[in-house]
Amino acid sequence: MTHIPLSLYIHMPWCVQKCPYCDFNSHNIKQAPAYDEYINHLLADLRHDLALTNNRAVHSIFIGGGTPSLFSAELINQLLTQIQTYIPFEAGAEITIEANPNSADANHFKGYIDAGINRISIGVQSFQHDKLVKLGRIHDPDDAINAAQLASKLNLRSFNLDLMHGLPDQSLTDALSDLKQAILLSPPHLSWYQLTIEPNTLFGSKPPKLPDEELLWDIYQQGDKLLTDSGYVQYETSAYAKPGFMCQHNLNYWRFGDYIGIGCGAHGKLTQADGKIIRTVKTKHPKGYLAGRYLEKSYQVPDDELSFEFFMNQFRLFEAAPKMRFVERTGLTLNNIEQPINQAIKKGYLSEDKDNWQLTTQGKLFLNSLLELFL
């Protein structure tokens, strides 16, 4: 258990305006939030979870939201400094903060770097004004370009651009144009994911017209080739990186590592010394959280769900999956999954050698069918 990497996720719940496609736990600012008070509650929340970490150091940190860049560099500095008094950071730990393009100015970003941030993830979504309007974004294309150019000039380990495809009224030319603009900005990491309509969103109640399946497939195929030809490697379902720049925090999630989750609605997964895996879910609404009610629930993952949970995460990655990782991180034996693995191989979803399983092209295309074998 002590060899399982431990990450920390910190959720900042406020946005200036909630996007119509977003089903994340975010809340519109109706009056000035108590940002400094929230920092104190995050630290108290962390202290409650320390007993579940077995004295491990933090491998990576991700500050997500909401819009974390609403928080000043001084408050982020205070937060990270205080966290280190409770739990150590590994040498060279990756520390990411999400930022909106319109919050990007040199002093703001430099302040984050001084606070210990070494990776910034910029929520671009599109470089086309009409698409940004339809997505409810509050920045314009120039903001996005300026933010990326600024991030590239700073002494960061890496930066990421978030882009979406399959947008309302998006053509193949539109989608490829967004990618070409992103590639010109040369981010070390690109998240490129398809817009999906989620039920508890404005788009869920009033769905826009989206590209059909045939067009979506053309966008994916040609976009993937464009990125690959430009030196990016697809290492995860929705993520591309230049060699050496994969997101370490997300890799730890998908490899079934451990993570503490603090802040409104944050989730955690923590392996205990006896092999039990505990999941935590924090109070979603800021009102309850700021009243000191941090933990909504915690529970042990049942043994009969561990195989599915492991592969649901591991098979988001396109790398080979070590068989011993399954044993070490679930506490189960390979005999527990012999039947579904054999079925997956027979159906052409997986290949295997002595040490690893490898997702095939067929497995990538029919991932849900593959995962159902482990239910």
Q: What is the mean pLDDT of residues 270-292?
A: 96
Going by C-alpha positions, the residue among 85, 70, 91 that lies closest to residue 26 is 70
**CATH code, 40:** 3.20.20.70
- The last residue of a domain, from among 217, 252, 287: 252
261 occurs within a structural domain: no
Confidence of residue 316 (pLDDT cuts 50, 70, 90): very high
What mean pLDDT is predicted for residues 136-147? 94
**Tens of pLDDT, residues 10-42:** 999 999 888 888 888 888 887 778 999 999 999
Tell how far CA 72 is from the center of its chain.
22
Domain boundary among 252, 273, 288: 252
Stretch 131-136: mean pLDDT: 94
Q: Could you tell me if 15 and 161 lie in one domain?
A: yes
Q: Confirm if 270 and 258 have CB atoms less than 8 A apart.
A: yes
Provide mean pLDDT across the span 45-74: 96
What pLDDT score was predicted for residue 42?
Answer: 98
Question: What's the token pair of residue 104?
Answer: 């990007």
Return all residues near 182 (Cβ < 8 A) that are at least 6 apart. Answer: 124, 127, 148, 161, 163, 190
Is residue 268 situated within a structural domain? no
Q: Tell me, yes or no, whether 169 lies in a domain.
A: yes
Strands 158-165 and 239-241, by their bridges, are: unpaired
235 and 125 in one domain?
A: yes
Place of tokens 């144009």: 177
What pLDDT is recorded for position 190? 98
Confidence band of 201 (pLDDT split at 50, 70, 90): confident
Distant-in-sequence contacts of 140-146, Cβ < 8 A, 24+ apart: 140/102, 143/101, 143/102, 143/104, 144/101, 145/181, 145/185, 146/101, 146/104
* 218 and 309 part of one domain: no
Taking residues 352-358, what's their average pLDDT? 97
Distance CA 13, CA 266 (A): 10
Element (H, E) at 367: helix 367-372
What is the number of other CB atoms lying within 10 angstroms of the CB of residue 291?
A: 11
The residue written with tokens 């966290």 in the block is 83
Give Dmax (Cα) for the chain. 59
Phi-psi region of 116 (alpha: psi -120 to 50; beta: other; left: phi over 0): left
Residue 136 lies in a domain: yes
Residues 309, 234 share a domain:
no
Q: What is the pLDDT of residue 2?
A: 66
> Omega of the bond prior to 66 within 30 degrees of 0, cis?
yes
- The pLDDT tens digits for 164-191 are 999 999 999 999 999 999 999 999 999 9
CATH number (domain holding residue 308): 1.10.10
Residue 186 shares a structural domain with residue 331: no
Tell me what pLDDT residue 350 has: 97
The Cα 359–Cα 352 span in angstroms is: 9
Q: Map residue 18 onto helix, strand or coil.
A: coil
Question: Of 223, 252, 281, which residue sits at a domain end?
Answer: 252
Q: What is the mean pLDDT of residues 191-204?
A: 91
| Structural domain count of the chain | 2
pLDDT tens for 202-252 read 888 888 999 999 999 999 999 999 999 999 999 999 999 999 999 999 999
Beta-bridge partner residues of 261: 9
21-25, 128-132, 282-286: which has the minimum mean pLDDT?
A: 21-25
- CA 52 – CA 45 distance, rounded (Å): 12
Note whether 329 and 212 are same-domain residues. no
On whether both 133 and 244 belong to a single domain, the answer is yes
In a domain, 76, yes or no: yes
- Report the range of poorest mean pLDDT among 57-66, 98-107, 289-298, 353-362: 98-107
Distance between CA atoms of 174 and 159, rounded to whole angstroms? Answer: 24
| 343: in domain | yes
Coil, strand or helix at 20: coil
Q: Is residue 193 part of a domain?
A: yes
Q: Please compute the mean of the pLDDT values over residues 359-368 and round it to a whole number.
A: 94
Strand intervals (E) in 272-354: 277-282, 295-300, 321-322, 350-352
* Higher pLDDT pick, 72 / 104: 72
Q: How confident is the model at residue 301 (pLDDT cuts 50, 70, 90)?
A: very high
User: What pairing do the DSSP bridges indicate for beta strands 239-241 and 295-300?
Assistant: unpaired
Q: What are phi and psi of 235, to 5 degrees?
A: -110, -10
The answer to whether residues 243 and 345 belong to one domain is no
Q: Sort strands 189-194 and 158-165 into parallel, antiparallel or unpaired.
A: parallel
Residue of 359 and 200 predicted with greater confidence: 359
The CA distances from residue 367 to 60, 237, 311, 317, 344, in Å, are 28, 10, 10, 11, 10
pLDDT at 107 exceeding the cut of 90: no
Range of the domain at 221: 6-252
Task: Examine the pLDDT at 105 and tell me if it is beyond 90.
Answer: no
On whether the CB atoms of residues 16 and 70 are closer than 8 A, the answer is: yes
Which residues fall within 8 angstroms of residue 215, CB to CB, at 6 or more apart?
171, 172
Looking at residue 1, its pLDDT comes to 61
